[in-house]
Structure 1
Amino acid sequence: MELDGSGLTCARVAAGGPVSIASLDRARAAWRTAQSLTGPVYGRSTGVGANKEISVEEGGLALLRSHAGGAGPLVPAERARAMLVVRLNQLLAGGSGVDPALLPVLAEAINTGHTPPVRTYGAIGTGDLTALATTALCLLGEREWRGPGPGPRFALSPVDALPFISSGAATLADAALALHEVRLLLEAAVGVAARTFAAVDASVEPLAPAVHAARPQPRQAEVADRLRGLLAAREAARIQDPYGFRAFAQVHGAALDALARAERAVEVDLNAATENPLVGAGRAWHNGNFHSAPIALALDAMRAALVPAAQLATARLATLMEPAYTGLLPFLSGRLGESGAMILEYVAQDALAELRLLSAPVTSGTAVISRGAEDHAGFATQAARAALRCVEPLEIVLACELVAAERALAQRSAPGEPDRPLDTDLEAARAELRLISP
């Protein structure tokens, strides 16, 4: 994957594999500007936060040592690696003023499988200071990399301490990984719904082009078109089906809209110079581009949109348990009186409850820290972390629907099987979701 400070997407962050650097030109230009700066420059010739009025000789590596103080478990290596990819791409966009010789060293760390020991807690959406300070100490040799043997070293200049850590790269990496996984699941959900539609002979009338042309919401018609293409035309078995079928395109389309907005917001920042100060054109601009409000708001909306989409999946699951819709025994059982697939409803509702908890917005809160010098926070870090946690329960809800739908379709041509544990079926369905074409 070639990085050039532009064109980085959520999918590319998630892809893994080696990276290469297309050009250091913009990073070099910012570095030359930084070398020429005179007068007070935040973090280069001053302290940070409430210490911004205090002059500091040539920045200070003490900042890195003081800020590498995260808490909680280490984040998985794939998340730490994604953070390095994001920060490298941001630095290639120019604007930080750090020594461009650092950038190939970051690429080396990525390509040799080395990641910093980043801890879970330590950021509030105004910069991932603890994660990136820890990374800087690895570069300096004061902390050990995680990975195969000794990791790369770089003598980071004291004046580059704040410019290197002034970024939300870890938050953006988490957001990108989460959005990529959610997109895979929401795309697969259309294929899962098609199986359920077929299993209960649901009407395709709600998917008619005329219906969605009359209400041109951005992705509603797209969902209806894709689902209609997966279903054979048939006579309507009922005048109207439950909402899980009749309103699928409307609800799922809204979830895809929210996902697309979140992807746009995150991908802007993956390729942006969100540096403070921003260095370029012969000067430094002190600014607030580090604030994560656009990311936090978009992720809040995306997580909220997953809940009604998952609710309709559980509603379709309930319909699959009903003989009036399937023509089969209650709960898709093999014998009358047995429980069949009943437990799937419990599992799905448990996972749905988790999604509801994770949908709570982070943007309603704030924080005042550093003796009042920093009097607001975006909490996109928490929004991204919650988005990552949404992947598992969403996957489980869809897996429950998939197991039931395939069981119903199988029982149309063969007798139902006796009761047995369904945990292995669910695990297989979770894996199958990644293979389902919408």
Structure 2
Amino acid sequence: MLKPTRLALAAVLLAATTQVAGGAPAPASSETVTVQLDGDHLDWPTLTRVLHADSVSVRLAPGARQKMAATRAGALRTVAAGERVYGWNQALGPNKDRPLTTDEQVEFQKRVLRSHAAGTGPALPPNVARLALVLRANTMARGAMGVRPELVDRLLSMVNAGIAPVMPEIGSLGTGDLQPMAAAGLSLIGEDNPVLRDGRQVAARMALRAAKLPETFTLEAGEALPLISGSSVLTARYADAIDRSGRALDSFTAGFALFLEATRAEQGAFDPRTHEERRIPEETEAARQIRAMVCGTQWMTDDGRRRSGEADPRIQDATSVRATPHILGALRQTLGTARETVVREANASTSNPLIFERPGGGYEFVMGGNWDGARIGHEIDSLNAQIADLGVLSEGLSGRLLDPKWSYGLPSNLAGGPVGLNSGMVQAQSMAAALIPEMQAAATPAGTLSRPVKGGQEDHNTMAMASMRGLAANLDRLDTVLGVQVMLGAQGIDLIRGTMGPLRLGEGTAAVHGVVRQRVTPLVDDRHLTPDVEKATALVRDGAFTAPVASAGRNSCAAA
């Protein structure tokens, strides 16, 4: 077993706290993001900028405004001619066969919002709520829902003023975003659903008045259902989860580089020839990125292993090490598909009914199910399973660092002082292990758990929002599991650094180690570890490892 001295660790501590970190972009952006909506060109980079911006300026494109106005006029003529239309002059759900008089139709819009605003639980993060409103406005901009351009203007005036409705996340069955968007709708018309502005929760009218916007807004016939019947909230939450998953992938890659160097791992598992033979581009890219992280390493060599006391060749490392490019490649592939799905959904008419221009003139309503979130829901279930598996992999690698046998000689439990007198980091890893069964339970696919509601009128539901809640909770858990991984990996590096002498770490590994040591100091004698875990978790959550991982991807090894 390698036995670092207390003096050596003190020297490491001094070096670690003065090393310049690779830097990390904060998820938030101080720039005002300007967007024009036409219902057809909202792309992934724009979505993420809206998600992270401090402020946005969004407006409706002139061509979309004209199309919306024409469709609205055609819809009103069609209804006036006697066509019975769900949500316009007919009631909803089990009461769909109940006609609405002309006098009832405007009042009905308010009552739809009031009756459907029955959600509960935590509110959506303000940036996700804002993105949901932008997505809803963009779907309306396609001109197939029959709403006025003025409704989009009202939505965007709230967005531009920094007003985010308080939208409870529990209630949606994946059959449209009925409950959360109904809450947003009440804020939009100036009723009593609260909003967030400048970090404070206030009454909607107070925020509207402070922003110099009209305190009330009247929905006209047929406008409540397009506002609430769609997948914009689900899509916004999915976009946020995809973005978070990408940062988690960077954090795992950073922690894996620390693990590889601390255990002086074999590099053969990342040979490009092996991965090219598998013919999965995302896997090949994952292996390339790992090679880039450890580029220039002298620790992961026969010389490095001999210096640390290994007399015989390693041959190969454990399955978890050799299979990591495959696991990360699969996740990369899933995230690529997920981004495509979100962009398609962001530029689609997700409501019921829709209205189309007839080839021979005039307009007709078509009743359908475009609010259904089945595709997104099943994708969320799949992503959640992979996020849970990444957590299992991360926790397992952390566990290997604690065992002198599996870490190839690191002190037991990564203790910095005398082993036995000091228990090291074992309980931090145990805490991560405690999160794993929670992650596995939350990864149960809710998309297989449909429940009929509303007297059988809505007899199949995707439960996609339940899937989304499970994924969001697991991403929170994964932040902590990955935080433990990078914390233990950095400790492993420090414990062996004296033995490795002049041998160099890989470029990316050294940068990641510097990021960790800016916030978390090496462990010498035992201390209260909760603050360390929380600091390491914050590094993951804030995307602190994205910059060093991206920078490593541009080094000389990246092309190999």
Give the TM-score normalised by the residue count of structure 2.
0.74
Instruction: Give the match for residue 131 of structure 1.
Output: 180
Distance 1:109 1:354 in 2: 38
Instruction: Give the match for residue 397 of structure 1.
Output: 481
Q: Amino acid of the residue matched to residue 350 of structure 1?
A: A
Instruction: Give the match for residue 118 of structure 1.
Output: 167
Instruction: Give the match for residue 12 of structure 1.
Output: 49
Distance 2:429 2:134 in 1: 40
Large movers: runs of 4+ above 6 Å: none
Aligned: 1:224 with 2:307: no
Distance 1:336 1:65 in 2: 63
- Cα deviations by residue, 1:332-388 (Å, 9 ceiling, x for unpaired): 112121211111221111222221121110111112222211111011111112221
- Cα deviations by residue, 1:86-128 (Å, 9 ceiling, x for unpaired): 2122222322111111212211111222222322322100111
- How far is the alpha carbon of 1:416 from its aligned partner? 6.3
Instruction: Give the match for residue 279 of structure 1.
Output: 355
Matching residue within 131, 138, 150 for 2:207: 150
- How far is the alpha carbon of 1:18 from its aligned partner? 1.0
- Cα deviations by residue, 1:392-429 (Å, 9 ceiling, x for unpaired): 11111111110011111112235961111222222222
Deviates more, 1:319-328 or 1:187-196: 319-328
Aligned: 1:66 with 2:124: no
Residue segments in structure 1 that go unaligned for 5+ positions in a row: none
SS in 1 for 2:164: coil
SS in 1 for 2:169: strand
Instruction: Give the match for residue 383 of structure 2.
Output: 302
- How far is the alpha carbon of 1:3 from its aligned partner? 3.7
Distance 2:283 2:92 in 1: 48
Determine what percentage of the aligned residue pairs are the same residue. Answer: 27
Point out the structure with max Rg over C-alpha: 2
Q: Amino acid of the residue matched to residue 151 of structure 2?
A: L
Instruction: Give the match for residue 44 of structure 1.
Output: 88
- Cα deviations by residue, 1:28-48 (Å, 9 ceiling, x for unpaired): 343233223241121112111
Quickly say closer, same or farther: Cα 1:360–1:79, change in 2 above 3 A.
same
Matching residue within 127, 151, 155 for 1:106: 155
- How far is the alpha carbon of 1:261 from its aligned partner? 2.4
Quickly say closer, same or farther: Cα 1:32–1:92, change in 2 above 3 A.
same
Q: Amino acid of the residue matched to residue 126 of structure 1?
A: T
Q: Amino acid of the residue matched to residue 32 of structure 1?
A: A
Instruction: Give the match for residue 538 of structure 2.
Output: 431
Quickly say closer, same or farther: Cα 1:176–1:63, change in 2 above 3 A.
same
Aligned: 1:359 with 2:443: yes
After the TM superposition, which residues 23-422 of structure 1 pair with which residues of structure 2 at under 5 Å, given as runs? Answer: 23=61, 24-38=65-79, 39-58=83-102, 59=105, 60-61=108-109, 62-148=111-197, 149-151=206-208, 152=213, 153-231=216-294, 232=296, 234-235=300-301, 237=305, 238-281=314-357, 282-324=363-405, 325-333=407-415, 334-337=417-420, 338-413=422-497, 417-422=524-529
Residue segments in structure 2 that go unaligned for 5+ positions in a row: 1-33, 198-205, 306-313, 358-362, 499-521, 550-560
- How far is the alpha carbon of 1:290 from its aligned partner? 0.9
Deviates more, 1:290-299 or 1:274-283: 274-283
Distance 1:34 1:428 in 2: 56
Give the TM-score normalised by the residue count of structure 1.
0.94
Q: Amino acid of the residue matched to residue 544 of structure 2?
A: L
SS in 1 for 2:447: coil
Quickly say closer, same or farther: Cα 1:104–1:135, change in 2 above 3 A.
same
Distance 1:210 1:33 in 2: 61
Distance 2:287 2:464 in 1: 32
Matched-pair contact (CA < 8 Å) for 2:60–2:153:
no
Question: Root-mean-square deviation (CA), in Å?
Answer: 2.0
Distance 1:322 1:159 in 2: 65
Distance 1:203 1:105 in 2: 59
Quickly say closer, same or farther: Cα 1:307–1:72, change in 2 above 3 A.
closer
Matched-pair contact (CA < 8 Å) for 2:69–2:148:
yes
Distance 1:8 1:131 in 2: 24
Matched-pair contact (CA < 8 Å) for 2:116–2:178:
yes
- How far is the alpha carbon of 1:318 from its aligned partner? 1.6
Q: Amino acid of the residue matched to residue 89 of structure 2?
A: S
- How far is the alpha carbon of 1:239 from its aligned partner? 0.8
SS in 2 for 1:54: coil
Q: Amino acid of the residue matched to residue 331 of structure 2?
A: A
Quickly say closer, same or farther: Cα 1:263–1:350, change in 2 above 3 A.
farther
Distance 1:431 1:369 in 2: 41
- Cα deviations by residue, 1:7-60 (Å, 9 ceiling, x for unpaired): 243523422321311403443343233223241121112111122222112432
- How far is the alpha carbon of 1:283 from its aligned partner? 2.1
Distance 1:430 1:73 in 2: 22
Q: Amino acid of the residue matched to residue 146 of structure 2?
A: G
Higher relative contact order (CA 8 A, sep 6+): 2
SS in 1 for 2:355: strand
